[in-house]
Amino acid sequence: MNCLSVAEAANHFKCIDTIINTAKHGLTESYIKNLHVLDDRNRTAHVYEEEDADEIYGRIISAHIGLFDGLLNVLKKKLTSSQ
């Protein structure tokens, strides 16, 4: 097993631990979408094929940006209400 495989396995188990801990409170659609963002982020470190990069880019444009826009709005509201 090479170092890359060990790192990927460790990251995989961290994700599983997070899912298990969250499952105690129920997996929401929003949480699952966030896991997809995290998975794509992790995959970009190991993308060597243009087709894979294009696939991830497509998901960033079609889905992930909307999640970040939502986060930005929540943070703006919290900032405004705390002032």
> Looking at the domain assignment, is residue 37 inside a domain?
yes
User: Which range marks the domain in which residue 73 is found?
Assistant: 26-82
Q: d(Cα 56, Cα 47) in Å, to the nearest integer?
A: 9
User: Tens digit of pLDDT for each residue in 38-51?
Assistant: 888 888 887 788 99
Whether 75 is in a domain gets the answer yes
Radius of gyration of the chain (CA): 16
Measured in whole angstroms, the distance separating CA 10 from the mean position of its chain's CA atoms is: 16
Instruction: Say if 13 falls within a structural domain.
Output: no
The residue with tokens 């929401």 is: 28
Q: What is the pTM of this model?
A: 0.58
User: Number of structural domains, the chain?
Assistant: 1
For 5-46, how does the pLDDT look when each residue is reduced to its tens digit (9 = 90+)?
A: 655 666 666 767 776 776 666 777 887 888 888 888 888 887
Gap between the Cα atoms of 73 and 65, Å rounded:
12
Is residue 14 assigned to a domain? no
CA distance 37 to 35: 5
Q: Give a yes or no: residue 56 inside a domain.
A: yes
Q: Is residue 71 part of a domain?
A: yes
Q: Is residue 42 part of a domain?
A: yes
Q: Is 12 inside any structural domain?
A: no
DSSP state of 24: T
